[in-house]
Structure 1
Amino acid sequence: MVSSLLVLLQFQTPFIITLTLFIIFHQIQTSDASPQTLLILPLKVQTHPHGSVSIPIPSSRKLSFQHNVTLTVSLTVGSPPQSVTMVLDTGSELSWLHCKKLPNLNSVFNPQLSSSYNPTPCTSPVCKTRTRDFPIPVSCDPKNLCHATVSYADATSIEGNLATETFFVAGSPQPGTTFGCMDSGFTSNADEDSKTTGLMGMNRGSLSFVAQMGLPKFSYCISGSDSSGVLLFGDAKFAWLGPLRYTPMVKESTPLPYFDRVAYTVRLQGIRVGKKLLQLEKSIFVPDHTGSGQTMVDSGTQFTFLLGPVYKALREEFVAQTKGVLTLLDDPNFVFQGAMDLCYRVGSNRKSLPLPPLPAVTLVFEGAEMSVSGERLLYKVGDVAAAKGSEDTVYCFTFGNSELVGIEAYVIGHHHQQNVWMEFDLVNSRVGFADTRCELASQRLGMGS
C-alpha cells in the first residue's frame, strides 16, 4: 500500500518556476472516521527569466512550444542515496536521469557509486516493451545492454541505457524501478538542464513512475499567479472538497498512428461561449481512423489547443461576444508561442485594474463540464514591440490552434486547470474535477498561512 503524498506547489508567472520539495509529516483528517497519515512536501521556489525553458515533449506528440512553469520533484536515488531533481511530466512515460557529466551540466546521477543500480540486458522483457516514448526502437549496445533513444519535437534527443534502481519517494524505498540512465544528448535547454537531473514520467504507460508505484490515483490543485497549490499521490477524500464531476478515460485497444493510448484521454463533446453552444458537428470531436483528434488532459502543457475548425469557430464567437469590450491587437504577424493568434491591446490606464467581464468558455465533456472564465481566458504577454512604442500591454487568448504547432489532437493545458481540483483515478479509469480555491485547499491541508 503506497502512502498518499501531498506536494505543495507554488507558481509565479511571468517567471519560470522550479519547485524543490522537502519532507514534513502531517496527519490529515479525511472524510473517513479516522485520520489518515499523508506526507506533505513543501516546495522551494526558484525563478528564472521568462521563456528560458522548453519542456521536452515526445516527437509523436509534435509539441515544441515553450512553457513558463515547470514542476520539479526532489528525491534520492541509489545506495547510498544520491539527491536528484526531476521534472514532473504527466505527458511522458519513461522516467530518466542524466548519468554522464555533459558540458554545462552539473546535476547528474552517478550509477557507479550505487550498489543497487542494475542495467537492463537486451534479453529482458522490458527491453522489448513498445512505448510512445521510443519512436526509435530500443536496441542492444556493444555490452548487450538495452539502449534507448527518446526524441523530441525540436529535433533534440537523449539516449542511454534502461536500468533499475531504488528510488526513495518521501523516504519510502521503491526498489527495482525502471528508468533511463541517459549519457548523451540534451533535452531542449542546456542552461535549464544544469538545474535538473532528469524527468519523471507520469502517464498511464506501464513504465511510468505512477504505474510502477502501483498508485490507485493522484490529484493536484493549481492556484493562480503568486499562489500555492498541492499535488497528492494516493487515495484520500476530503469532506470540505465536495463531490467531484467525473468523465471517463477513453481506452483504445487498436494501435493507431496518431493516438496516444497511454495519455489521459477523455471525450470532448462541445464548447460553449457564454450561453451559446458552438454549432459544430459532433464527429469533429471524435478521433478518426488514424487516431487524430483525441482529447488529452495534460498538466505538462501550459495552454489549451484545439483542432483548426473548432479553434476557428471558438475564436470567431469569442471575438463577436467581446466586441466593444476588448481591443484587438492590429498586427496579423504577431502569434504568441506560434499558435495563439488572438491577442488584444490593453491600455496602460487598465494595467492596475482587473480585466473587463468576459464570457466564460465551457468545455463540455462526457458527464462533466469545465468552465474557463475571468483571468484564465487571457494571458499577459507583456509590453510587446507589437504595441508600436506605446505603453499598452498585450494579452492573448489562452486557447490555441493545434494545427499551428503540428499536433493532431485536443490538449487541455494546466492554465485552464487553475483553481480546479483534478483527480486522475487509475483504478476506475476516470478523471474527476471540482472548482475550488486552491490556496484555501492548501490552508485546509495545513500548508497555507
Structure 2
Amino acid sequence: MDFIATILFLALVISSTKGLDPCGPQPDDSDLLVIPIYGKCSPFNPPKPDSWFNTVMNMASKDPARVKYLSSLVAQKTTAVPIASGQQVLNIGNYIVRVKIGTPGQLMFMVLDTSNDVAWVPCSGCNGCSATTFSPNTSSTYGSLDCGLPQCAQVRGQSCPATGSAACSFNQSYGGDSSFSANLVRDSLGLANDIVPDFAFGCINAISGGSVPPQGLLGLGRGPMSLISQSGALYSGVFSYCLPSFKSYYFSGSLKLGPVGQPKNIRTTPLLKSPHRPSLYYVNLTGISVGRVQVPIAPEYLAFNPNTGAGTIIDSGTVVTRFVQPIYKAIRDEFVKHVKGPFTAIGVFDTCFDATAEAEAPLITLHFEGLSMPLPMENSFLHTSAGSRACLAIAPVPNNVNAAMNVIANLQQQNHRILFDVINSRLGIAREACN
C-alpha cells in the first residue's frame, strides 16, 4: 500500500511540475528572478544562442567602457554624462529582473545594476526606443516631477530654468554622436508581491545616435535615488542576489529584497563609502592568494582612498574581475609557476593555456577584512568553444582609467549569495547554487 501511495504522490508531483513555466511567474513570490540577459527567459536572447565562451567574450568586450565609467562617477551634477556613462546606463547589461510599473502594472524588464542609482525605462512615444515601452497614459498612479522637488536635484544633467516651475527634464550626451532625453516621473513600482508607491524614475522620450536601449535599468546603488533608498522601511536597506552562471541558459538566480529570508550566519566585511562616488559599494580587499602563496602587493594598490576613489568595489555590471596592473601582474606571475605553458592571449585574456593543464591550476582566494572568498574553478576559468584552451578569467584594469580602482565582477560572484546591508554598512558573501 505504501508503494502505491508513493507512486501516486510522484505522479502528482510530476504532473504539477510539468505545468510550471520556468519563464513565467513563480509560485514563491517573495523573490525576483535574476535572468541572464542571453538566457532562455530573457526577451533579449538571440534566436540562435551562441556558445558560452563567445557570449562571455562579447559581454566582456564592453568591460573597459564599464570600468572607465565606474572610475568617472562623481558626486557633483554635470550637464553631460561621461561618454562611457551613457553607454553603460542604456546599452550594457548582464542580468535583468521583471518588474511592473504603474496601475495596472505594466511588465518591464530592467537591468540589475548595483553601481547606478536612478532607474530608467523607455516610454511610449519615444523616438528611437525599442518596441517595449512603458505607457504613462494608461497608469492611474503616474505623475510628473517638477524642477523644484528634491528628487530633481539628485539627478545629473537636469535642464531646469533659473526661475519658475517646469517638469524635471534631462538631455544627456553619450557615445560621441548619441544622446537621450528623459523626464523624471513617479509611479508605482511592483516587485514580486511588494509595491513601492511614488517611485521616481527617468521616462526616456528620445534617443539619437547608434545606441538604442533594449531595456530599462534598476539602480541598486547607495545613493538617494536608488531603489534601496526610495523603498525606505519596506526593505530596511537590505538586499541580496545570487547570480546564475552564464552557462545556465535555462535557469535564473534570485534577488531578495529586505531582511526577511536572508542567510543568518553569512560572514561579512565592512562596506566603505566614498563621498565622491557615493553610489559604489567599496570593500576592504586586504590580499590575494594563489594556491598557498599570498602574492606580494604593495599596500597602496589595495588601500581605500575616499577622496580619489581608489580601492575595491563589488559590481554587478562588469563581467570579468579587474585589478590594477601591479596586482594583476603579481597574480599572473605566481599562477604561471604552477601551470604548464605555453600561454597565449584570447581577447581580453592573456593567460590562456592547454585545458589539460587545468588540473594543475592553483586555487585563487580573495581576502577581505573579516572574510575570504575562494574562487572555485568555474569562477576562475573560461574554456574556448572547442574546449581545448582554458583562460584565467581575470584581467588588468584598462590604462585609460583615472583611478586605482579594482572591480570584483559578476563572473567571480556567480553561484554566491551577495548580501548588501546598507544601513549597517556590511557586505556578506556565501557559496550558493543559484540555479
Contact preservation (8 Å) 1:95, 1:208:
yes
Contact preservation (8 Å) 1:357, 1:374:
no
Residue 102 of structure 1 aligns with an amino acid whose one-letter code is: N
Q: 1:68 to 1:103 in 2, by over 3 A?
A: closer
Residue 206 of structure 1 aligns with an amino acid whose one-letter code is: P
Residue of 386, 393, 397 corresponding to 2:392: 397
Contact preservation (8 Å) 2:301, 2:311:
no
* Cα distance between partner residues in 1 of 2:402 and 2:143: 37
Question: In percent, how many aligned pairs have the same letter?
Answer: 27
Instruction: State whether structure 2 residue 417 is matched by structure 1 residue 414.
Output: no
Q: Which residue of 1 aligns with 2:372?
A: 369
* Cα distance between partner residues in 1 of 2:135 and 2:288: 49
For these two proteins, the number of residue pairs brought into alignment is: 373
Contact preservation (8 Å) 1:21, 1:41:
no
Residue of 357, 382, 391 corresponding to 2:360: 357
Q: Which residue of 2 aligns with 1:433?
A: 429
Q: 1:273 to 1:149 in 2, by over 3 A?
A: farther
Which structure's residues are more often helix, by fraction?
2
* Cα distance between partner residues in 2 of 1:264 and 1:403: 20
* Cα distance between partner residues in 1 of 2:293 and 2:98: 45
Residue of 346, 352, 363 corresponding to 1:344: 352
* Cα distance between partner residues in 2 of 1:426 and 1:83: 28
- Distance apart, 1:159 and its partner CA: 2.5
Q: Which residue of 1 aligns with 2:6?
A: none
Query: Which runs of 5 or more structure 1 residues have no equivalent in the other structure?
Result: 1-19, 27-36, 384-391, 440-449
- Distance apart, 1:294 and its partner CA: 2.1
Residue 393 of structure 2 aligns with an amino acid whose one-letter code is: T
Q: Which residue of 1 aligns with 2:170?
A: 148
* Cα distance between partner residues in 1 of 2:360 and 2:201: 48
Residue 144 of structure 2 aligns with an amino acid whose one-letter code is: P
Residue 78 of structure 1 aligns with an amino acid whose one-letter code is: G
Q: 1:106 to 1:335 in 2, by over 3 A?
A: same
Residue of 8, 23, 26 corresponding to 2:25: 23
Q: Could you say what the CA RMSD is over the residues aligned between the two structures, in angstroms?
A: 3.4
Instruction: State whether structure 2 residue 144 is matched by structure 1 residue 127.
Output: no
Contact preservation (8 Å) 2:365, 2:374:
yes
- Distance apart, 1:40 and its partner CA: 6.3
Q: Which residue of 1 aligns with 2:96?
A: 72
Once superposed, which parts of structure 1, at least 4 consecutive aligned residues long, lie more than 6 Å away? 63-69
Query: Which runs of 5 or more structure 2 residues have no equivalent in the other structure?
Result: 1-21, 74-83
Correspondence list, 1:36-435, <5 A: 38-39=30-31, 41=33, 45-46=41-42, 47-48=45-46, 49=50, 50=55, 57=66, 58=69, 60=72, 70-99=94-123, 100-103=125-128, 105-129=130-154, 134=156, 137-140=157-160, 144-149=166-171, 156-185=178-207, 189-190=211-212, 193-194=213-214, 196=215, 198-214=216-232, 215-216=235-236, 217-224=238-245, 225-226=247-248, 228-237=252-261, 243-252=265-274, 255-256=275-276, 260-288=277-305, 290-322=307-339, 324=340, 326-329=341-344, 335-336=347-348, 340=349, 342-346=350-354, 355-382=358-385, 393-404=388-399, 406=401, 408=403, 409-435=405-431
- Distance apart, 1:304 and its partner CA: 0.6
- Distance apart, 1:246 and its partner CA: 0.6
Contact preservation (8 Å) 2:171, 2:181:
yes
